[in-house]
Amino acid sequence: MIKPPAEVLHERELSALRAEDAGKRPPNWKLSPAAVRDFLIGRERPALLDGEPIAITRKFYGNDVLIERAVVTLAGNRGLMLVGEPGTAKTMLSELLSAAISGTSTNTIQGTAGTTEDTIKYSWNYAMLLDRGPSEAALVPSPLYQGMKHGILTRFEEITRCPSEAQDSLISIMSDKVMSIPELAEGVLFAKPGFNVIGTANIRDKGVNEMSSALKRRFNFETIRPIENVAMEAKIIQSQASNLLSQGGVDLDIDPDVVELLATTFIELRTGRTREGYKIETPQAVMSTAEAVSVYVQSAMTSYYYEEGGVSLERLVQNMLGTVAKENTKDLSVLKAYFSKVVKERARTEQLWDAYYKEKKWIG
């Protein structure tokens, strides 16, 4: 698999945590809330699996208290809505929570402009429907239906990309945990314990199909904020880039100095403030951690296949251009100003930044 789901990628950690977990668990949960928290934010003490110590690593970098609130929300009667800027790991967090709590993260609805109520609830195999009439065998269950039937979490990605009428089909389900199926004799599907919904929404999409007040009241909202710490951002870039390069068969060591330089650039352009305390202009483009990882991976792969060397600053700047100009090509002037002022000043005393400044020629 190009990208294994979280329950496959972290199978040994999850198995080790389940083997030792003696904490109180909500109905149908694979792990206790305390063990779910440990799975996401890591811990120093390893877990034992068949006598072998298994390290429990940190997978989410951010507000640890937010993780505790999110887990408790999912144990209750209200859904969890993760909102924030693009690239702040909302999807990754929902995937990790689902893998730890339900043992599967693939029970997912991907919200789009074409999402309908049938997509959210259920549809029909029309050949069987015409041949045999309405029956459970002819019904095509949605991920929401599966979540209710089996008592597992349902992930709803990019909910604000869906039309309002499709979103509102969730209101009664989130309130009563019951889905009406008038075509069948039973008439209703009652959710089993363990069912809940994790939604994600991009705050840049606000106004596209904003959630109604009635639907918002069925969720607890948690805002995932961008990282503003260079060391933490660099650690995430290094970890994720290493995984992606390994999965792509690229045998290349990560350069921590280049990673730190990249993390510094992205955070300063994202926040509009340099480490020296000066205010700078910010681009319209999303200078997220995910974009920084993509820039490093692309640069590493380019160097690996064409130059058989480490990541060059030339390739780094070349790949950065596409990210900065994604929303508006005028943003290249913001990057150029950043090099002319911030990078140039640091180039006077720091060798790496001097080499970085020499690649300004690619910006135009």
Domain spans in the chain, listed from the N-terminal domain onward: 62-224, 230-362
pLDDT given for residue 204 in this prediction: 76
pLDDT of 18 above 80 = yes
Give the up-direction half-sphere exposure of residue 310: CA atoms within 13 A in the CB hemisphere.
8
pLDDT of 255 above 70 = yes
Average pLDDT estimate for 90-116: 96
* Cα→Cα distances 93→60, 81, 89, 251, 354, Å: 7, 11, 6, 28, 38
pLDDT given for residue 206 in this prediction: 63
pLDDT tens-place string over residues 150-208: 999 999 999 999 999 999 999 999 999 999 999 988 889 999 999 999 999 988 766 57
Average pLDDT estimate for 339-350: 96
For residue 267, how many other CB atoms are within 10 A of its CB? 23
pLDDT given for residue 47 in this prediction: 96
Alpha carbon distance 122, 145 (integer Å): 7
Given CA atoms 311, 314, 315, 321 in this order, what sign does their dihedral have?
A: positive
pLDDT tens-place string over residues 136-166: 889 999 999 999 999 999 999 999 999 999 9
The pLDDT mean for the chain works out to 93
CATH of span 62-224? 3.40.50.300
pLDDT tens-place string over residues 261-275: 999 999 999 999 999
Contacts of 206 (CB under 8 A, 6+ apart): 160
